[in-house]
Amino acid sequence: MRKIPQKIREITIGEVVPCPADPKSLRVFAKYDKNLEEILPYLCAMFPRSRFLERLNMVRIDKGKHSIYIFEKGKMVITQVKDEKELIEIINMLLDKIDEAKKALLSGRVVKIPDRRVIGPMDIYPYLPRTNCGECGVSSCFAFGIKLLADEASLEECKSLDYLSMEKIRQLIS
């Protein structure tokens, strides 16, 4: 893989690590150079497989094999990126959608957040062991649930999870 560029248009590329969902691919952290809070609902409405997680002020977009997380302050996480070429394609697509969302906002068009079931940490929590043992690296199962939703942890990091609970959580967050 060629060196990942540090900046693609208005997006600065940060950490690039092996993706927990598929270690042969990459998880890319990036940052858009402006606040995105106002356009998050517009972005959510533009992608059929997206959810707005109000408690985290974040939109999760599922596109092909990728999950893309966009936070209000411009932070982005893109999973399962194959290589530099694919990363550039995804980022250009996101930037075009961001431009479209800004135009929709400026036009005064009111957008309703699509009525898709929003999965939050409280949905995941009942299926976690709730012992707060800390072995996954965070102090509580609830905090682990938040990290799962942000794709900053993988289910395998909790060694106390039984198979059925793991499958149930997988269904909720996939």
Judge contact between 13 and 5, C-beta under 8 A.
yes
**Binding status of residue 144 toward ligand SF4 by CB under 6 A:** yes
Judge contact between 83 and 90, C-beta under 8 A.
no
According to DSSP, residue 132 is labeled -
**Binding status of residue 146 toward ligand SF4 by CB under 6 A:** no
**Binding status of residue 135 toward ligand SF4 by CB under 6 A:** yes
Q: Of 62, 73, 10, which is closest to residue 40 (Cα–Cα)?
A: 73
Listed in sequence order, the residues at least 6 apart from 18 whose beta carbon sits closer than 8 Å to its beta carbon are 24, 25, 26, 27
* Least distance to ligand SF4, CB of residue 166, Å: 11
Of 17-25, 33-41, 79-87, 131-139, the segment contacting ligand SF4 by CB under 6 A is: 131-139
Judged by beta carbon, residue 126 or residue 134, the one nearer ligand SF4 is 134
**Binding status of residue 131 toward ligand SF4 by CB under 6 A:** yes
Single residue of 1, 7, 133, 171 touching ligand SF4 by CB under 6 A = 133
**Binding status of residue 165 toward ligand SF4 by CB under 6 A:** no
**Binding status of residue 148 toward ligand SF4 by CB under 6 A:** no
Sheet architecture: strand order including 66-71: 7-8, 11-19, 22-32, 75-81, 66-71, 58-63, 50-53
Summarize as ranges the residues that interact with ligand SF4 (CB under 6 A).
Answer: 128-129, 131-136, 140-141, 144, 158, 160
